[in-house]
Amino acid sequence: MNIVFARGAAELPRLVARIVAEGPLPEGTPALVVEGAQAARFAGKAGQVHEAFVAGEKGLVRLAFAGAGDLSDGDRRAGLERAGGALAAKYLTSGEDALGIDFSGTGFSAQDVVSVLLGARLRSWQFLTYRTRLKDEQKPSLKSVIALGAPEGTEDLWAVEVAVAKGVEFTRELVTEPANVIYPESFVARCQERLAGTGVEILVLDDVQMAALGMGALLGVAQGSVRKPRLLAMRWKGKEGVRPTAFVGKGVCFDTGGISIKPAAGMEDMKWDMGGAATVAGTMLTLALRKAQADVIGVCGLVENMPDGNAQRPGDVVTSMSGQTIEVINTDAEGRLVLCDALTWVQKEYQPATVIDLATLTGAIIISLGHEHAGMFSNDDTLAGQLDSAGKGCGDTLWRMPIGPAYDKLIDSPIADIKNVGPRFGGSITAAQFLHRFIDKGVAWAHLDIAGTVWIDKPGATHEKGATGFGVRLLDRFVRDTLEA
């Protein structure tokens, strides 16, 4: 969806919207429209939309009001994004090709307007690549949103936020594509294509190179698939003279569970088990497009986990790049095996000051937190606070979970240095504790378990059902608030 900034009322289409806070409609609204809104119980609550039809100079005008809720409650962004998203959801397939949002006289700041526009753009994203038999009324008709009366500086702010939107959309695209389209090699190719010309440096390691480096944990997961694994590194060096920050993503492009095979029902969802890697890729696109003043490395460990005759077995012992040996108790606890080698590699190769990994790692985190928050585990209180603040500032919210020595004994192995699963209880915690063993001393680290937030089976305020793009806005806000501050 295109966002256009207009200067005069004559540029508005016949579908015109106003954003209103919770309460009565603005002064000057036609009496019949006010009466109709009251009859429909429209009160300006966040996400409410009321439509009326009025006579204009050039014929019928569709007049819409979108509620932003109580804008004095401290979270203006969320309400305004929800208003923009509600308008996009209502009119995306309305037959109208343009929606005009009139901000004149609202008193909204440039940031307020940008929040509305971002909500509209993100909510309008759909993945229709393989839908060949849509009826006309099902096809998106809305092509542009025209912003009228936006205050000075809005267009400059929007130029930054559109980079965020593109990163979120890229992540959603990668997550939504089926596993016969996106697998390790094609994931790399898609990133190379999308990042071409942005200034991002790309490095790719194949299975032979990873074997030479001793990445036995990652390669053990991949050995059951005909799809060869890849390690993808993307560096945006927008600042010199600082130690880089690393974002590391789990990229299991399809997860059958391996020999510890998953139940058939719902297994098709496991195409999005590469959501952490997709988030890293989308974030790198955002940072490059907005020319972030930061040195950031994005690393994706890319594999498929398949139950072939050559697949890893429960009870196998593998040697990680760090030299630590791992007893594989359950081949469906594969993400941590991929991540541990990717974490070791990025620390040895780039010596980052901070490492943040993202992974659809455990079902246990969904049991704990549902789909409302991602789980956060960290060895550094300052970093945890920064990420928590970034999440609250953009809506990609986190909830800190514990780690510590008490959990270490749960993943000790009798025949190796560590085993890849602990007992039934505390599954997301022991998974994080496993990863913590591969973090070098002095490195600030956070693990984000995003299993419950990358894919949701019902629409949200700024996303259709399916891929959410969770994490791109979070990491971008973290970069803005900490690395560019």
Query: Does residue 76 sit in helix, strand or coil?
Result: helix
Which pLDDT does position 123 carry in this prediction?
98
Report the pLDDT averaged over residues 1-15: 80
Q: Give yes or no on whether 2-149 and 162-483 have one common fold.
A: no
Question: Is the predicted pLDDT of residue 27 greater than 90, yes or no?
Answer: no
Which pLDDT does position 270 carry in this prediction?
98
Which pLDDT does position 451 carry in this prediction?
98
| DSSP characters over 407-444 | HHGGG--SSSSEES---STTHHHHHHHHHHTTSPTT-E
Q: Give percent above pLDDT 90 in the chain.
A: 93
Distance of alpha carbon 331 from alpha carbon 322, whole angstroms: 20
What is the domain partition of the chain in residue ranges?
Answer: 2-149, 162-483
Question: Is the predicted pLDDT of residue 7 greater than 80, yes or no?
Answer: no
Strand ranges, E, within 290-406: 295-305, 317-319, 325-327, 354-359, 374-378, 398-400
Which pLDDT does position 12 carry in this prediction?
76
Which pLDDT does position 268 carry in this prediction?
97
Query: Does residue 359 sit in helix, strand or coil?
Result: strand
Report the pLDDT averaged over residues 328-332: 98
Six-digit token string for 14:
């016949």
* Gap between the terminal Cα atoms of the chain: 31
pLDDT in tens, 71-108: 987 789 999 999 999 999 999 999 999 999 999 988 99
Pairing of strands 466-467, 455-456: antiparallel
Architecture of domain 162-483: 3-Layer(aba) Sandwich (3.40)
Catalytic residue among 76, 227, 336, 477: 336
Annotated catalytic residue 437? no
Tell the burial category of 410 from Cβ atoms under 10 Å away from its Cβ (0-12, 13-18, 19+). Answer: middle
> Are the CB atoms for 333 and 339 separated by under 8 Å?
no
> How many residues are listed for the chain in this entry?
485
Number of other residues whose CB lies within 10 A of the CB of residue 134: 11
Distance of alpha carbon 272 from alpha carbon 100, whole angstroms: 35
Distance of alpha carbon 5 from alpha carbon 145, whole angstroms: 8
259 CB contacts (<8 Å, ≥6 apart)?
224, 307, 311, 312, 313, 314, 331
pLDDT band at 8 (very low <50, low <70, confident <90, very high): low
Number of other residues whose CB lies within 10 A of the CB of residue 333: 23
Catalytic residue among 228, 262, 392, 400: 262
pLDDT in tens, 105-161: 889 999 999 999 999 999 999 999 999 999 999 999 999 999 999 999 999 999 999
pLDDT band at 11 (very low <50, low <70, confident <90, very high): low
Question: Is the predicted pLDDT of residue 349 greater than 70, yes or no?
Answer: yes
19-23, 55-59, 219-223, 246-250: the lowest-pLDDT one: 55-59
Measure CA 141 to chain center: 26
Question: Is the predicted pLDDT of residue 9 greater than 90, yes or no?
Answer: no
pLDDT band at 284 (very low <50, low <70, confident <90, very high): very high
Class of domain 2-149: alpha beta
> Are the CB atoms for 285 and 194 separated by under 8 Å?
yes
Task: Return the DSSP state at 312.
Answer: -
Measure CA 243 to chain center: 25
Report the pLDDT averaged over residues 179-188: 98
User: Cα angle at 452 between 69 and 205, to 5 degrees?
Assistant: 125
Average pLDDT value over all residues in the chain? 96
Backbone angles phi, psi at 448, to 5 degrees: -110, 115
Q: Among 202, 168, 377, 418, which residue's Cα sits nearest to residue 300?
A: 202
Which pLDDT does position 46 carry in this prediction?
95
| DSSP characters over 315-378 | T-EEE-TTS-EEE-S-TT--HHHHHHHHHHHHHHHH--SEEEEEE---THHHHHHTTT-EEEEE
Measure CA 116 to chain center: 19
Annotated catalytic residue 336? yes
pLDDT in tens, 363-397: 999 999 999 999 999 999 999 999 999 999 999 99
Distance of alpha carbon 184 from alpha carbon 423, whole angstroms: 31
Backbone angles phi, psi at 232, to 5 degrees: -110, 125
pLDDT band at 35 (very low <50, low <70, confident <90, very high): very high
No. of H helices and E strands in the chain? 14, 19
Token pair 């419950």: residue: 452
Question: Is the predicted pLDDT of residue 298 greater than 70, yes or no?
Answer: yes
C-alpha Rg value of the chain to the nearest Å: 24
Report the pLDDT averaged over residues 304-309: 97
> Are the CB atoms for 147 and 115 separated by under 8 Å?
no
Question: Is the predicted pLDDT of residue 50 greater than 80, yes or no?
Answer: yes
